[in-house]
Structure 1
Amino acid sequence: MYQSLLILHSLVRWLVLISLLVAIVRAYRGWLGHRRFLKADNTARVVAATSAHVQLVIGITLYFISPVVRYFLNYFKAAVHQREIRFFGMEHITMMLIAIVLLTIGSAKTKRKTTDQQKFKTMAIWFTIALLIIFLSIPWHFSPFTSRPYFRWF
């Protein structure tokens, strides 16, 4: 089960990133282009937030069954000094939780705004901050913190 969830988590990451990029591009185009907030813009907001929440559920499940995290929690004093172990045991989950909270707040605030410009601006700012945190917290292949492949396969 662990390996299957790890693969799914790796693949859903791309859905989250793509949906967030689409939502952000739509938000900036609408905000800077003084456009109307259309149903497609709202759908982009909902898809981005929903895919991130699905990824969060998969990630939290992985956190509790991961042998790396188990080691981190059982041998905290030693593990906290091991970069890769600390990344997955503490840093990755903390930053991703922060990003999802910001994304959720931004999505809720966007929904409540009354003008199209306010909706676009709110979505653009909150989603961009969340995306930056997510991007920095993913264990990219090129990351100096810890490295994982771009795709994991079954």
Structure 2
Amino acid sequence: MYNLILPLHSLVRWLVLISLLAIIFRSYFGWLGKKEYSKFDERLRLIAVTIAHIQFMIGVWLYFISPITNWFMHNFSEGVRLREIRFFGMEHVTMMLIAITVVTIGGSKAKRKVIAHDKFRTQAIWFTIGLLIILSSIPWAFSPLVHRPWLRGF
């Protein structure tokens, strides 16, 4: 199961990033350009939040079946001293929980706004913060601290 969930998590990460970038772009464009909030904008918000939630659920599933986090949980005192183990056992999951919370709050707040300007502004701010948290906590291929491939094969 692990060999299926890990590549799936790697793949869906790109969908999260693309959908968040799309909604952030539309939100800043609508906010600063004083555009009307359309059904497309509403759908895009819903898609971005939904994909982020799906990714988070895949990540939680992965967390509980991963040999890295399993080792971390059973060897906590030693695991917190090992950068890569600590990253996946503690840091990544904590930051992603914070990010999904920020994205969810932003989506919910935007949904309740009535004025298009307020919807766009709310989305732009909350989703940008969420994306920055996500970007800071992904084990990028170029990271000198903890790195993983750009995309894992199935």
TM-score in terms of structure 1 length: 0.99
| Equivalence for 2:122 | 122
Tell me how far apart the structure 1 counterparts of residues 66 and 82 of structure 2 sit (CA, whole Å).
Answer: 16
Shift of 1:75: 0.5
Structure 1 unaligned runs (5+)? none
1:50 matched to 2:45? The reply is no
Cα offsets for 1:109-136 (capped at 9, x unmatched): 0000010000000000000000000011
| Equivalence for 1:70 | 70
Shift of 1:100: 0.2
Tell me how far apart the structure 2 counterparts of residues 14 and 141 of structure 1 sit (CA, whole Å).
Answer: 14
What are the equivalent positions in structure 2 for 1:1-154 lying under 5 Å apart?
A: 1-154=1-154
Partner secondary structure for residue 152 of structure 1:
coil
Partner secondary structure for residue 139 of structure 1:
coil
Shift of 1:144: 2.6
Structure 2 unaligned runs (5+)? none
Shift of 1:145: 2.3
Residue identity over aligned pairs, in percent, reads 59
In 2, are the aligned partners of 1:23 and 1:45 still within 8 Å (CA)? yes
Partner secondary structure for residue 101 of structure 1:
helix
Tell me how far apart the structure 1 counterparts of residues 144 and 127 of structure 2 sit (CA, whole Å).
Answer: 25
Q: What letter is aligned with 2:68?
A: V
Q: How many residues align?
A: 154
Partner secondary structure for residue 141 of structure 1:
coil
Partner secondary structure for residue 150 of structure 1:
coil
Return structure 1 stretches of 4+ with deviation > 4 angstroms.
none
Shift of 1:42: 0.8
Tell me how far apart the structure 1 counterparts of residues 116 and 143 of structure 2 sit (CA, whole Å).
Answer: 38
Partner secondary structure for residue 26 of structure 2:
helix
TM-score in terms of structure 2 length: 0.99
Tell me how far apart the structure 2 counterparts of residues 3 and 100 of structure 1 sit (CA, whole Å).
Answer: 24
Partner secondary structure for residue 142 of structure 1:
coil
